[in-house]
Structure 1
Amino acid sequence: MEKLAGLPLLPTTIVGSYPQPEWLIDREGLKSRLPPRVRARELWRIPEPMLADAQEAATLVAISDQKLAGIDIVGDGEMRRESYSNRLATALEGIDIDQPGTAIDRTGKANPVPRVAGPIRRRGPIEAQDARFLKERAGGWVKITLPGPFTMTQQAQNDHYPDDAAMAMAYAAAVNEEVHDLFAAGVDVVQLDEPYLQARPEQARGYAIEAIERALDGVKGITALHVCFGYAHVHQGAEKPKAYEFLAELDRSSVDIISIEAAQPRLDPAILAELPSKRIMYGVIDLNDPAIETPELVAERIREALPYVDAERLVIAPDCGMKYHPREVAFGKLKAMVDGARIVRGELAAG
C-alpha cells in the first residue's frame, strides 16, 4: 500500500482513453464500428508523414485537460491508438497483418483480428518513446495502458500454437518486455487492460492468472489491471451485469490495483470485499449518460464504497470508454470527479 505514497487520499485518474480531436481521427467512423482489433489507418485524418506530430499534439491536449481538471495520475489519453489493444497487438512478430483472422467478440459478432501465424515476439519497444513524452510533459504521476495477454489471446486467430493457453504465455512474454521498458522510461503505473476476464470467465479460470503473472514477472513498479463490462456505446445502452464473474481470483495475483467500473452498472459495492489485498480503481462516472455528474453525486458514489474498502485503498476513476464522448463532456465529467473526491477527502479529514 505504501507504493502510492505522495499522492493524496482518494487519488484520481483516467482509465485509459480520452476523446481524440475531430481533426485527428474520424470520430463518427470510430463510433460506427466495433473497436478495431487490426489496424484501421483509414480512420486517421492526417497524412502519414505528419501523423505522429499530430498525435503528439493531441496528446498534449489530453495532458493539459487532465491537469486542468486536477487529475492526480495522468495518462496519455491513448491518442495514438485506434483502439486500446490494436496498436501493440499488431506490432508483434508472428502476426500476419496482411491476412487477418476472425474471432467472435464480446457482442457475439465476428470481427477481423490479428492472425497468429508464427512465434509471437516483441521486435523492440512499442510505447516507451510515448511514455517518455508523457512523463516529460505531464510531470508528476503518469500511467500507460497496455492490452493484457489473456484479452489479446481472445482477440486473435491462433494458427500457430497448440492451444490458446500456450499463445497467451507467448503474448505475456512480449508484454513483460514492454512493461519493463515502460518503467525504465519513467512511467509510475502500468495498467494491463483485460476486459475479456469478465466476458469469458471460464477460459480465464484456465490460464489467465498464469499469463498475467508471466506478464509481470520481475516487475518492481506499480501495476494495475482493468476489468470491465464493455463500452457503453458498443452495447447501445443495454443494461450491464450487476456483478463480476471473474474478480475474486485476481486477489491472488501480484497486481497492485484492480480497476472496475461501478457507475453505469450500479455495481453493488459489497463486491469490493472480494479483493481484500488490493487497491481498487473505482469507476464513479457513468459513460452511458452524457449528462455531467454533479460533484455531490460523485461524492455519494464514493461514500457507498467506503463500508467495504478503506479509503486508503481507493483510486477514483471514470468507467471506461471516455473516448466516445465529446471533449467538453469528458472534461466536465473529470472535473466533477475530482471535485467529488475532494468533498469526500475533506469529510474524512474532518473525522
Structure 2
Amino acid sequence: MSVLPLLPTSLVGSYAQPDWLIDRDRLRDTFPPRIRAKELWRVAPELLAEAQDDATLLAIGAQRDAGLDILTDGEIRRESYSNHFATALEGVDLDNPGMALSRSGTPNPVPRITGPIRRPHPIQLADLRYLKAHSDRPVKITVPGPFTMTKQAQNDHYPDPAAAAMGYAAVVNAEVKDLFSAGADIVQLDEPGLQGWPDEARQYGLAALNAALDGVTGTTAVHLCFGYAALVPGRPDGYSFLPELAGCPADQISIETAQSGLDLGVLADLSEKTVILGVIDLSTDEVESVEVVAGRVRRAFDHLPPEQLVIAPDCGMKYLPMAAAAGKMRAMVGAAHLLRAELGD
C-alpha cells in the first residue's frame, strides 16, 4: 500500500446507492435483509450487473472527487452489508429460511444452516478487481464477520453456535487471504454482532474472529457499531464490547463517536491499534461543517496520537441521500486538511 497522509480519510464501507438502481424507500422501510431481497432492485435482472457496475463507478468517483485517501466500492452491489456474502455460501438453505432475532429482538428471516458451511469459490474477488481497475488510490473491501453471520442464521446443523461460528470463520479466512492475494490494501470484517450480543461474543465470538484472521498477512480492520442510524436512532452510552479487541490480530478497529458523543477514554484500551474514528453523524442529512468534524477528531488526540487515527463516518452511508453523503465526505476531507495544517504536516 502506498504511503498514506496523516489522518487519512475513508468510508467505513457503504456509500449511498442511486434511486435508479435500488428502491430506497423500500430499503429504508425494510430491516436489512439477511436472505436475498431481489425485489429491492429497480433494474431488470438481465441488466442488473451492468447497472451495478455503473453505480459502482459513480460511488468510486464521488469518493475520489471528495478527496478520500482510501477508496471502497461503496458496497453498491449489496442489498445489505452481509447477505451478499452469506447467501453465496454452501451449507445454507435460502429457499426455506429460518428465523433469528435482531439485536433489538425483532424476528427476521435468515439463512438456515443445513450442512457444513463452505465457500464454493471466492465471492468478492470480482468486486475488488473492479474497484482496483478504477482506482488510483489504496482500496479497502469489507466482508461480514463470522460471529455476526452466526447471529444472522438459524443453525440446524452444527452442535452449538460456537461450532457454527468456526464454520463461518474458516470461509471468511479463506476469502480474506484471497482478497489480499488479489491486491486489496485493507480488508475489513464487519462485526456489529460483537456489540449487539457481548456475552456470547466473549464466549465464542472473539475466538471466531481470531480464527478468521489467523495467518492473514495484510492490513485488517474490524468494524463495530450500534446499527444503522436510519434504522436504530438511539445510541447507548458506550460500547459493551471493545476492550476485548485489544489483543485480536486486526490492525485497525472502527468505532462510531459522532452521534453517540462517545467518551473517548475508551481509546486507551486500544492503544496498540489504529482506530478508524467515526466522526460523521449519519442520523441526519445535514452536512457538518469542517470545523465541527475537526473538533470531533481533536477529542481523540488526548488518547491516541494522530498517526493512529483514520477519519471516517460513524458507519456505512447506505441510507443517506447521495448529495448529503457527498457533502459529508467533503467535510471529512476538509477537516483532515485543517488538522494536518495545525499539526504542521
Tell me how far 1:342 sits from its aligned partner: 1.1
Aligned residue among 108, 128, 135 for 1:131: 128
For 1:325, the equivalent position in structure 2 comes to 320
Matches within 5 A, 1:132-171: 132-171=129-168
Task: Measure the CA separation in 1 of the matches of 2:95 and 2:166.
Answer: 24
CA contact (8 A) 2:11 2:316 kept: no
Q: 1:211 and 2:208 equivalent?
A: yes
Tell me how far 1:321 sits from its aligned partner: 3.4
Identity over aligned pairs, percent: 57
Q: 2:188 is matched by which residue type in structure 1?
A: Q
Tell me how far 1:29 sits from its aligned partner: 0.6
Aligned residue among 49, 58, 64 for 1:61: 58
Q: 1:265 and 2:256 equivalent?
A: no
Q: 1:286 and 2:292 equivalent?
A: no
Aligned residue among 81, 84, 92 for 1:84: 81
Question: How large is the RMSD of aligned CA atoms in angstroms?
Answer: 0.9
Q: 1:12 is matched by which residue type in structure 2?
A: T
> TM-score, normalized by length of structure 2?
0.99
**What per-residue deviation string (whole Å, max 9, x for no partner) do you get for residues 212-267 of structure 1?**
111112111100000001111112x32x0121111111010000000000000110
CA contact (8 A) 1:232 1:321 kept: no
For 2:299, the equivalent position in structure 1 comes to 304
**What per-residue deviation string (whole Å, max 9, x for no partner) do you get for residues 258-285 of structure 1?**
0000000110111111111100000000
For 1:117, the equivalent position in structure 2 comes to 114
Q: 2:273 is matched by which residue type in structure 1?
A: K
The 3-state SS of whatever aligns with 1:77 is: coil
Aligned residue among 45, 68, 73 for 1:71: 68
Aligned residue among 180, 185, 189 for 1:183: 180
Tell me how far 1:5 sits from its aligned partner: 6.3
> TM-score, normalized by length of structure 1?
0.97
Q: 1:282 is matched by which residue type in structure 2?
A: L
Aligned residue among 191, 195, 206 for 2:192: 195
For 1:17, the equivalent position in structure 2 comes to 14
**What per-residue deviation string (whole Å, max 9, x for no partner) do you get for residues 186-219 of structure 1?**
1100000000111100000011121111111211
For 1:349, the equivalent position in structure 2 comes to 344
Task: Measure the CA separation in 1 of the matches of 2:263 and 2:197.
Answer: 21
Aligned residue among 108, 115, 126 for 2:105: 108
Task: Measure the CA separation in 2 of the matches of 1:345 and 1:203.
Answer: 41
Q: 2:294 is matched by which residue type in structure 1?
A: A
Tell me how far 1:139 sits from its aligned partner: 2.1
The count of corresponding residues between Structure 1 and Structure 2 is 345
Aligned residue among 223, 226, 236 for 1:226: 223
